Structure 1
Amino acid sequence: MKNNHLKLKNNIFHVENINLELLANKMGTPLYVYSRAAIKDSWNRYAKAILNKNCLICYGMKANSNLAILKEFSELGSGFDIVSGGELERALAIGANPQKIVFSGVGKQEWEIIYALKSGIKCFNIESEAELHKISDIASNLHITAPISIRVNPDVDAKTHPYISTGLKENKFGISIKNALNCYKTASKLPFIDIVGIDCHIGSQLTEIPPFIDALDKLIPLIKELIKNNISIKHLDIGGGLGITYKDEVIPDPKQIIDSVILKLKESNLDHLELILEPGRSLIGNCGILLTKVIYIKHSEDRNFVIVDAAMNDLLRPALYQSYHEVKPVAPRTGNAKEYDVVGPICESADWLAKNRLLNVQENDLLIIESAGAYCTTMSSNYNSRVRPAEVIVDDCKYYIIKNRENLSDILKLETTI
């Protein structure tokens, strides 16, 4: 196949002039392949949406935290939404501006809080009153003021998979909107705490605008109550969560959401607030693919199986969320297709990448697993003592290795016998 220029519906994955068969032969499979051009295109959708607006985009790096990916977004102007000290280390390693880093997550440990305070991050998104007191105590001991934003749980249904819903009252995230005002009052009295914002994140893979507006309709009265109580804030963080097209989803443009939020703020005389967004999946999800090779074709009484060298340890989303990823052969064959389940070598019935797909394939054929830029390599593991894939980024007709494939010695070197 001379050229492999793949159009992935809501975004463009640019393979440019890279021959995927030659790349797979050189690098081996499974292999993650990202497009630098697609990353820029994806970023530009947000950049155009915030042009001449008081907005900050903080890439949600849990979606994909490869250093090369982070460097691309940083150079394009992005800040970062982090959820661990390890992610802070990654952001600082590529030279990110700490004043454009927000720290989310329900279980921040003491060392992580100290690291973030000493690094001078933009703010902590507080997820519990216990966390608020801990940060105040640590900040007091260090004599460093901690900028904080309280993550408010608005009890809004994001209409997404329950595992990636974060804005309902039964979710572990944030502080109930009923208790938020009292929490802000507590924060205003604590030493070495500087209240700078309000935060909300209702879920992931959102495909509609109304859930964002529903959350905002609950936040605006709270912000006005804060003002009445002489608690001033500088920013509103509406989180991320905008989805991508995996199959046939129709996704709003970021501009639609941003314009809708800014209009609501203007109508409420709150347009002086800086608006922060934390997109992850919508920036990187459709900028990457997973290449995998067919090992065996298996026919049974009830099912047909394509057994490939990628597995649930490389791509967990189908097993975890029953997620859909398009599967296409690199070099399509002529003839009749059959219905197959695409499965991996791991000894789990949940080790499947795709079910009920019409394919015409043979052993050693290469398959493309689409929309693999987000929540794929970051969720990978060494289950069954399998090494994790290499990662490359393509730029026009060149490719660059941005993560070497592990080898067996890599996954044994931290262990000892007694």
Structure 2
Amino acid sequence: MHHFSYQNSSLHCEGVDLNAVADAVGTPCYVYSSATFRHHAQVIARAFEGQDCLIAYSVKANGNLAILSTLAREGCGADVVSGGEMQRALKAGIPASRIVFSGVGKTAPEMDLALSHGIHQFNVESAGELRLLSAVASALGKTAPIALRVNPDVAAGGHPNISTGKKGDKFGIPWSQAEALYAEAATLPGIAVVGVDVHIGSQIGDLVPMRAAFEKIVGLTGRLRAAGHSISRIDVGGGLGIPYKAGDAPAPPSAYAGMIAEVMAGLGVQVILEPGRVIAGNAGVMLATVLYEKPAPDRTFLILDAGMNDLMRPALYDAHHDILPVEEAAADAPTAAYDVVGPICESTDKFAVARQLPAVAPGDRLAFMSAGAYGAVLSSAYNARPLVPEVLVHGDRFDIVRRRPTFDEMVELEQVPDWLTRTA
């Protein structure tokens, strides 16, 4: 669910008219509902009541400090994949004891930072990373609590670019090598084996592949314990899907929690969750303004002021976002088929092909729904376009939580060498 609805024929976020936001900050921009973020975090927490569970929100889904602060107040921890994400989580008030560090490319300085703060767990993804972490921890006189992320070779369906649990994916330890690497980990200084980690993909609506992966992990846990490892945690990753369009019916958190309770029954482990999209996805929209309608022999292009640099998901994953007019169309309003595109000089800069929309005109505003996850965080300044603002709504007020940079701010890290500026 979400807190976006038409009120008095204008699309609102909670009690705020999105036209008022667009008037104040311009378009394109992102608008988030704090009530939706809180609601989704609470739904997951309720679903896992009675289980020993750490909800470590996946910062990569939406790492705005205001969003992280909102979720910190709900008791969420954080799953991070870089030193920068970890510092964001800490700055937002998430304690290090509730942070897990995932990702395939951790550097020694990032390990040092995480060890110095005393994070909850490292999810280790390769033998090389394990050995480097041992060296860094030993040099600091610290012990790194680790889980190895194992690749169970389970296909989760969906777009191949968001699959992470099949043989051939770059993530995790190959299933056939996992137990040998656990044996090595037990011998390394500065390393404490505490758990097992698995994550098979994103936008997963069917619990069957998740259950298959988790059952394999439970079997592995039994073998590891028999070999003398103290496995007290299982990190099941994230990946639970959301409805992006009518007809989508992903499994709800209650069913997900029930399945995990069944699979983990009797193990006596802490379950670590890494939800991201399921909390953030439907909590945000991107607003854009129509620039031009461009007829072509076989189609009509609708050119917006937002581009793939602002919302990358359609270009990156062929992802669908519902597109709604900010001013509600009459029930009998005519519709037209549009190729909805942006101003970027790339053929992949398109949001939808032959999408049926109420007829619109230059100056009309559109809302891209379900853009709260992997929207602003994937944005860039390609074509020298400034990063778009982010706005957080709370009831009947809104605040700019990331402003649009000026041109001078965009180029302030650059300089022309003096040999190019000297006159002969």
Q: TM-score, structure 2 length as denominator?
A: 0.94
Deviations 1:22-61 (A, max 9, x none): 2211110001000011111111110111112211100001
Opposite residue 234 of structure 1, the aligned amino acid is: S
The aligned residue for residue 330 of structure 1 is: 326
Deviations 1:231-260 (A, max 9, x none): 111110100000111113101111211211
Q: 3-state SS of the aligned residue for 2:400?
A: strand
Inter-CA distance 6–58: structure 2 relative to 1 (3 Å threshold): farther
**Kept in 2: contact 1:14–1:37 (CA 8 A):** no
Opposite residue 279 of structure 2, the aligned amino acid is: L
Q: How far apart in 2 are the matches of 1:218 and 1:6? A: 46
Inter-CA distance 4–287: structure 2 relative to 1 (3 Å threshold): closer
The aligned residue for residue 231 of structure 2 is: 233
CA RMSD of aligned residues (A): 1.4
The aligned residue for residue 134 of structure 1 is: 132
Q: How far apart in 2 are the matches of 1:337 and 1:256? A: 38
Q: 3-state SS of the aligned residue for 1:197?
A: strand
Opposite residue 308 of structure 1, the aligned amino acid is: L
Q: 3-state SS of the aligned residue for 2:229?
A: coil
Q: Does 1:72 pair with 2:62?
A: no
**Kept in 2: contact 1:4–1:18 (CA 8 A):** no
- Following superposition, the deviation at residue 14 of structure 1 comes to 7.0
Opposite residue 324 of structure 2, the aligned amino acid is: K
Q: 3-state SS of the aligned residue for 2:71?
A: helix
The aligned residue for residue 313 of structure 2 is: 317
Q: How far apart in 2 are the matches of 1:14 and 1:301? A: 37
Opposite residue 365 of structure 1, the aligned amino acid is: D
**Kept in 2: contact 1:14–1:38 (CA 8 A):** no
Deviations 1:382-405 (A, max 9, x none): 100000111111111110111111
Deviations 1:197-252 (A, max 9, x none): 10000000001111111101211221111111111111101000001111131011
**Kept in 2: contact 1:98–1:120 (CA 8 A):** yes
Inter-CA distance 196–14: structure 2 relative to 1 (3 Å threshold): farther
Q: Does 1:288 pair with 2:287?
A: no
Q: 3-state SS of the aligned residue for 1:33?
A: strand
Deviations 1:361-396 (A, max 9, x none): 001000000000000100000100000111111111
Q: Does 1:306 pair with 2:305?
A: no
Opposite residue 366 of structure 2, the aligned amino acid is: L
Q: 3-state SS of the aligned residue for 2:42?
A: helix
Q: 3-state SS of the aligned residue for 2:16?
A: coil
Q: Does 1:255 pair with 2:257?
A: no
- Structural mapping, 1:28-47, within 5 Å: 28-47=26-45
Q: TM-score, structure 1 length as denominator?
A: 0.95
Deviations 1:335-381 (A, max 9, x none): 32110011111111110112211121001000000000000100000
| Structure 2: gaps spanning 5 or more residues | 418-424
Q: 3-state SS of the aligned residue for 2:370?
A: coil
**Kept in 2: contact 1:333–1:361 (CA 8 A):** no
Q: How far apart in 1 are the matches of 2:306 and 2:353? A: 15
| Structure 1: gaps spanning 5 or more residues | 8-12
- Structural mapping, 1:193-232, within 5 Å: 193-232=191-230
Q: Does 1:410 pair with 2:409?
A: yes
The aligned residue for residue 89 of structure 1 is: 87
Q: How far apart in 2 are the matches of 1:264 and 1:81? A: 23
- Following superposition, the deviation at residue 4 of structure 1 comes to 6.2
The aligned residue for residue 422 of structure 2 is: none
Q: How far apart in 2 are the matches of 1:126 and 1:383? A: 33
Q: How far apart in 2 are the matches of 1:139 and 1:370? A: 44
Inter-CA distance 193–6: structure 2 relative to 1 (3 Å threshold): farther
**Kept in 2: contact 1:240–1:278 (CA 8 A):** yes
Q: Percent identity?
A: 44
Q: How far apart in 2 are the matches of 1:401 and 1:6? A: 22
Opposite residue 286 of structure 2, the aligned amino acid is: L
Q: How far apart in 2 are the matches of 1:177 and 1:245? A: 32
The aligned residue for residue 51 of structure 1 is: 49
Q: How far apart in 2 are the matches of 1:198 and 1:114? A: 22
Q: 3-state SS of the aligned residue for 2:310?
A: coil
Deviations 1:253-278 (A, max 9, x none): 11211211111221xx31x1011110
**Kept in 1: contact 2:289–2:364 (CA 8 A):** yes
Q: How far apart in 2 are the matches of 1:229 and 1:85? A: 33
Alignment length, in residue pairs? 408
The aligned residue for residue 358 of structure 1 is: 356
The aligned residue for residue 5 of structure 1 is: 5
- Following superposition, the deviation at residue 119 of structure 1 comes to 0.8
- Following superposition, the deviation at residue 6 of structure 1 comes to 5.5
